[in-house]
Structure 1
Amino acid sequence: MKNIIKLLILLPVLSYSQNKEEAERKVFEGVSLYDEGRYKEALLLYEEALRLDKNNLLALSEKALTLNTTKQYSEAVETCKLAINTHPKEDLKNVYVSYANTLDHLGQIENSLKIYDEGLAKYPNYYQLHFNKGITLINAQQVEKAHISFQNATKSNPKHSSSFNALGIINKNDNRIPSVLAFSRFLALENKSSRAKANYEMIIALMMQGVTEKEDNSISLIINPNTIEKKEKADNDFSSTDLILSMAAALDYDSKNKDKTQCQKFIDKFETLCASLDELKKKKKGYYWEFLVPYFIEMKKQKLIEPFAYIVFLPSQDKDVLKFHQDQASKIQQFYDWSNNYKWE
């Protein structure tokens, strides 16, 4: 009799376990369909999962994401609310991202930022919350606050290329050294995508900014007024380094460098840039000086600027660049080994 009672007790538990396992199998199948762009079919599988296991968190989370992707915003919001209300003690990081992102798409920017802040209060180190909050702040034309969100995202996850991409874009018009550094870090992480090519071209343009050769072979050097040093030093002041980079760029037109490839000239300029950063670092403050600059100074100390440069130049598909990747694969790997294991401050 006791064995029968135990079996009766275990049956609901076993049934629940089997239902949850089957539900999550449906969700994983749905995720595969989502990745293929088959959103309607994915949603059907999420609904099947929820019938098997009511309010399954994984199913609700993926359903909310897919509803957001297919612009079914009102349903996405309700799905996120349901997930948060029914799973208050479980991991809801991605639910908060979907929830706030959906509100942004609905034009409810204040509510979106409120949800991001609620999520960050629970998960202060989740980079996707910081990054997506930054996107919403950009949409709200709150650029300085967005700048801080993207910085926080990189601190939480220094391997998140999209955050460095955003920082590069934000700085490119007014503070080119931080822009060069952010785009450079981006390309150390991602150098084979379409935006990698755009960012490679942006770095080249920024490093040669204001430097041109005239018809009489003289060099014109124009300094961006936004980079002129102020009496009171602000955070992330790179005015001295900016001037040094312009002078280094002018040497591209020197006769002694005429036979060098574009990548070799980049190496010369980047060496000068990093040397300047190393010399000036003790007097400076701010996110770029304290978080990003040490990475590049250490890169120079490890004698890794050469492979880094060829990584940056890969989107160019120049013959000399492709040859370096083929012949010096060990140097490329040495850079990635160092970069992947770099200890961020």
Structure 2
Amino acid sequence: MKTFLRAILLSMAVSGAAHAQTDSMDDMIKQGIELYDQGDYAGAVAKYEEALKLDKKNPVLNYELAMAYAAMNDLPNAIKYSEVVIKGKGVRPDLRAQAHGTKANSLDLQGKPDQAVKEYKKAIALAPDFYLLYFNLGLTLYNQQKYAEAEEALVKAVQLNSGHASSHLLLGYTKQSQGKRVQSLLALYNFLLLEPSSTRAADAYQELRKMQQQGVSQSGDKSINVNISLPKGEEDEFSAAEMMISLSQASAMTEKENGQTEEEAFYESSRLLFSILGELKKDKNSFWWNYYVDFFYNLVQSEHVEAMTYYISQSSGNETASAWLEEHPEKLDQLAAWYQDYNR
């Protein structure tokens, strides 16, 4: 949460949006922020405590103090100083929202998720366009196994900031927990495109590959078996796609028997998935179809799926993928250019 409105808060410290600030107060707040950004949280607290002697109710100062205590895992004090901001008179809505968010995070860490959810919702009411509030709310709900509510919050986070990798990742795991393979795959593909080379990317890639291969097995006589089962016996808008994923994976497995590499099989199964979904969309009109399916179907039509699959395969430490990327830098550049143009 520390990055939220930092520039605004700095300007507020200078201009004194809530109360007129002395030069001494301004300097101490700036010095405290610098110490915080350097990871010296105790030093920041000491500087803020010194500034409190000049103005105990200053909202910017109390907010920064709450943040410093939260960073030190001193949750009671983080809540205490957040409440000073929340209850203060004339506090800007964006700063009050941030204080609610800090309090919510502290409550969640104290094992009080229900109270945290209430605080996040208060924060969102004050700052409805701040994506991180929705993400943090979604994370708290996910940890409570309230997957439908978590999905709603995370979808909003993605809509507000499509470049926030963590929102796509958690949304993918949320749908996986609901047994919704297609939606989970789409969100994980998007996450890996944004963050292909991290520890959590390696885990997400492995989960993606496992889900792709789910229900497809090979017997001793090299015959391929496909076991298609819809989650909890329910029919939904992705039922047809569920069946096609398994069939396309079986086809990819057959191609591997004929000499196709693992990377080539991954490319082909991904291309088939995105193509099938695009053809199935027709008049479907939901977030999943309009956001993820449209994006990946356009990716197929742009003929950059191959570059994308090799690009995200590097998360697993795949040397073949890395070698391909080194040999085809122009294709990666073309993918990047297409992505930037698509998201304008």
- Unpaired runs of 5+ residues, structure 1, are 1-14
Partners of 1:187 and 1:29 in 2: CA distance: 33
Query: Helix, strand or coil for the counterpart of 2:225?
Result: strand
- Check conservation: 1:33, 1:42, Cα contact below 8 A: no
The 3 A distance-change label for structure 1 pair 176 and 70 is same
108-117 vs 159-168, which moves further: 108-117
262-271 vs 49-58, which moves further: 49-58
* Equivalent position to 2:146, from 142, 145, 149: 142
Partners of 1:292 and 1:255 in 2: CA distance: 27
1:41 aligns with 2:43: yes
Question: 1:53 deviation in Å?
Answer: 6.5
Question: 1:276 deviation in Å?
Answer: 0.8
Question: 1:17 deviation in Å?
Answer: 5.3
- Check conservation: 1:30, 1:43, Cα contact below 8 A: no
Match for 2:328: what amino acid?
Answer: Q
Q: CA RMSD in A?
A: 2.4
Question: 1:175 deviation in Å?
Answer: 1.0
Structure having the higher Rg: 1
Partners of 2:247 and 2:313 in 1: CA distance: 22
Question: 1:144 deviation in Å?
Answer: 1.2
Question: 1:300 deviation in Å?
Answer: 1.2
Structure 2 equivalent of residue 64 of structure 1: 66
Partners of 1:90 and 1:49 in 2: CA distance: 23
1:245 aligns with 2:242: no
119-128 vs 326-335, which moves further: 326-335
Identity of aligned residues (%): 27
Query: Helix, strand or coil for the counterpart of 2:80?
Result: helix
Structure 1 equivalent of residue 294 of structure 2: 294
Structure 1 equivalent of residue 5 of structure 2: none
The 3 A distance-change label for structure 1 pair 55 and 172 is same
Partners of 1:255 and 1:178 in 2: CA distance: 26
Question: 1:330 deviation in Å?
Answer: 2.9
1:211 aligns with 2:216: yes
Hey, which bits of structure 1, 4+ residues long, moved more than 6 A? none
Partners of 2:22 and 2:54 in 1: CA distance: 10
Structure 2 equivalent of residue 7 of structure 1: none
Partners of 2:332 and 2:54 in 1: CA distance: 50
* Equivalent position to 1:191, from 169, 193, 196: 196
The 3 A distance-change label for structure 1 pair 118 and 256 is closer
Partners of 1:194 and 1:45 in 2: CA distance: 36
1:99 aligns with 2:103: yes
Structure 2 equivalent of residue 9 of structure 1: none
Structure 1 equivalent of residue 85 of structure 2: 83
Number of residue equivalences:
322
TM-score if structure 1 supplies the norm length? 0.85
- Check conservation: 1:97, 1:128, Cα contact below 8 A: no
Structure 2 equivalent of residue 151 of structure 1: 155
Structure 2 equivalent of residue 222 of structure 1: 227
Question: 1:313 deviation in Å?
Answer: 0.1
- Unpaired runs of 5+ residues, structure 2, are 1-19
Partners of 1:331 and 1:111 in 2: CA distance: 49
Query: Helix, strand or coil for the counterpart of 1:314?
Result: helix
- Check conservation: 2:36, 2:68, Cα contact below 8 A: no
> What is the 5 A alignment of 1:1-345?
16=21, 18-34=23-39, 38-51=40-53, 55=57, 57-84=59-86, 85=88, 88-89=91-92, 91-92=94-95, 93-173=97-177, 174-226=179-231, 230=235, 234=236, 237-255=237-255, 258-343=258-343
The 3 A distance-change label for structure 1 pair 245 and 167 is same
Question: 1:107 deviation in Å?
Answer: 3.4
